[in-house]
Amino acid sequence: MRNRKVLLVIFAVLILSLAISIKTTQTRGEINNPDKLIEEFLKSMDNGNYTEVLDKMVLWVPFDPLNREGNSGMDLSKAEEIGLDKVSATPEEIRDSQSQLLKDEAEIIKHTFGEDAFTKATFTKERHDGTLDTVWVDTRTGKQITPQEAEKTSIAFYDRLFRDSGFTEDEVNEVINAAKNQTLTKALEERMLKLDQIVSANASNCPAQTKPITTEGYIYHLSFGLPESNKDYHNFFIRIEYRNGKWVTLCGIEMDLPEGEPGDV
Amino acid sequence: MRKITKEVSSLRIVKMTLSILIMVILLVSSFCRQGVSSASYPTTPIVFSNISDNSGDYPVVCYSTTKNGYNVNGHIYVKFQDLASPLGGTYTVAPGPTYVLQINGQTNAFYMSSTTSYSTISYSILDKSTGQTTQYSFNFSGTMLYPVMTIDGYPCVWVQYAALTLGSLIGRWDSSNNRYIIYHWRVNGNTPLSDSNTYFVGGEWLSNWNNYLATPLYLSPHFQLGGPDNIWSNYNPSSHPDYYRQVKIATTVLQSMENTRKLMGNTPYSPSCVFRSYWYNKNVGGWQWSWHMKGRAMDAGGTTMRDTVIGDIGAVAGFDGFLYSTNPNSVTQWDEIESPALASYLHGQRAPRNQDNHSGSVPHCP
């Protein structure tokens, strides 16, 4: 009897986890077809369904709207993995303000380009890859290595280069110790400059390299029927990024309008 | 029955003993790991932000990305690699160990447990009036308040100093949000702007910097730092004295300054303004996206110099309020100048064309 209860509890927990997982997946705004998403976005904007637009496109997380830090609309669970941890507004606050922003922008666009602006809108996409973090790799094996291994590999590499350039180990140590202790003489300074130049010239050949963990993405440029020559003036930018095998929007919703005279530049 | 219970009981004792042993082993190994590894400190956010503003006491944060730094007794440290990547720089380790950060033609060397750092900058300038090319190599040293140290197994550096040395315009502690903010023009979210220019970077964080007041330093055949050429920021913000005489200048600007001298019949001139710190730019009512803050602009002369350069570059109006060059073989090589309607002097900039409003691909904040 007791065992049955335990099994029941485990089963309930499993079902609950599954439900949460499905719900999370649904609300994260993951998409597999960004082009289709843009079409849906335009349709929703045309219909005035701003909340629908946002719920489809945006991953709601707290962020700092006043400082425009980060990108509005990230899944809280994703915030840490993409390097964001400073937040100062709740998801609801962001959702409300973004919804209002979209409403305002949609009205401006319709006022400026006509009621059918969204149905006539066209878009182009531009590749935009980002960097999530950097890790060390050994270029000879292509494998990730620890910072300590990277340090060891790099030192061995430059040590060899310094020797090949005619520096003895003692000479190198003399320069480094003098540099550490700020007792460089003019002659040592010249040697140091030379060592620095060797490092600069050969940095790209060192087997230990920092490698960015990249994200793939696109920036969508929406245009509203303007002449080709003027299209740069009136763009709606939407940035979409691909992270960890899933398309997510990072809410780069911005509208560009012509600026005034630049004044003193 | 009794025997079975006893056996089960013995089994429990064995299991408990094993569990305790495992826990003890885990605890001991955990302590051992802590013992052999480096110090650990609380993490704190370090925000890397683009800089294009002229409003508040500090610029607005925008196009930013955040890394974890460490709070070492109130002083913020950053991993070398975390400092390099958002700015588009590179990080490597040479014997010593010497921690080397490279960015825009600059090589910066740091050493474990040392407060000393060295910055070397090398470039060449062609004097078109003589046809001679001069090679410049500078080696600056600076003393940080806090030494390089290993935290969580990573070599880390005091961020305030290292960020400025790498050409950041400002580094500051944001007490209201408990975070450190670095402002650098190349920051663009997670994808730093590409910039192949070499910059001469310096300021009062470097040793003996003010000596150049007494003995100006030639950065090109005819233009001096610390002399009458106004290359460094000539405004002393009383609330931010650390940024007096800050400088960041692209060597392409130095080249165009020399070329302008040649274009004007080798007539000597002194620019009225080259680099502007954030507060200098704000003080003169400069534009929020000013290329002076990026080290890529110069103001000099009057209408004669301006109009001569207009002819030289075959200037035509861009859609961003500037006149841009249509002559790839111009003497001066200025990419853009300010419209005569707005400036009775030459404002030349080495900048990509038509980027000076929100439609350009260069970030514009706010």
Q: At what angle do helices A34-47 and A50-57 cross, to 10 degrees?
A: 160
Q: Minimal Cα–Cα distance from B139 to chain A, Å?
A: 7
Q: Is A139 on the interface with B (CB under 8 A)?
A: no
Distance CA A110, CA B179 (A): 41
Single-letter amino acid code for the residue at B285: G
B119 sits in which H/E element: strand B116-127
Sequence letter at residue B150: T
Identify the band that residue A220 occupies on the pLDDT scale cut at 50, 70 and 90: confident
What's the CA gap between B60 and B294, in Å, rounded?
Answer: 16
pLDDT value for A154:
96
Q: CB A182 to CB B116 under 8 A?
A: yes
Cβ separation A68–B114 shorter than 8 A? no
Residue B246: partners with Cβ closer than 8 Å, 6 or more residues away: B164, B169, B202, B203, B204, B232, B233, B275, B277
**Token pair for B365:** 């904040």
Report residue A218 CA to chain centroid gap: 11
Angle, in degrees to the nearest 10, between helices A91-113 and A50-57: 120
Which residues in chain A are closer than 8 Å to B97, comparing Cβ atoms? Answer: 151, 155
Q: Does B37 touch chain A (CB under 8 A)?
A: no
pLDDT in tens, chain B (366 residues): 233 333 333 333 333 333 333 333 333 333 333 333 457 789 888 999 999 888 888 998 888 888 889 999 999 999 999 999 999 999 999 999 999 999 999 999 999 999 999 999 999 999 999 999 999 999 999 999 999 999 988 999 999 999 999 999 999 999 888 899 999 999 987 778 889 999 999 999 999 999 999 999 999 999 999 999 999 999 998 889 889 999 999 999 999 999 999 999 999 999 999 999 999 999 998 888 899 999 999 999 999 999 999 999 999 887 677 888 999 999 999 999 988 888 889 999 998 876 666 555 667 776
Place of tokens 């003895």: A168
**What b-and-e string marks burial along A211-239, b requiring 16 or more CB atoms within 10 Å of the CB?**
ebeebebbbbbbbbeeeeeebbbbbbebb
Contacts of A108 (CB under 8 A, 6+ apart): A255
* Residue A127 DSSP SS3: strand
Please indicate if any CB of chain B lies within 8 Å of the CB of A259. Answer: yes
Q: How far is the C-alpha of B349 from the C-alpha of B299, rounded, in Å?
A: 9
> Which of B 46-65 lie inside 8 A of A, CB atoms?
47, 49, 60-62, 64-65
Predicted ipTM?
Answer: 0.74
Q: Do A256 and B359 touch (CB under 8 A)?
A: yes
Q: Which residues contact A30 (CB under 8 A, 6 or more apart)?
A: A246, A247, A248
Is the pLDDT confidence value at A221 over 90? Answer: no
Reported pTM: 0.70
Cα separation, A46 vs A209, whole angstroms? 49
Q: Is the peptide bond before B86 cis (omega within 30 degrees of 0)?
A: no
Phi–psi pair at A202, nearest 5 degrees: -115, 5
> Which chain B residues are within 8 Å of A179, Cβ to Cβ?
109, 111, 114, 116, 118
Q: Show which of residues 73-132 on chain A sit within 8 Å of chain B, judged by CB atoms.
A: 82-86, 88, 128-132
The mean pLDDT of A58-82, rounded to a whole number, is: 38
Contact A261 B81 (CB under 8 A): no
State yes or no: pLDDT of A177 exceeds 60: yes
Q: Tell me if B53 sits within 8 A of B293, measured CB to CB.
A: no
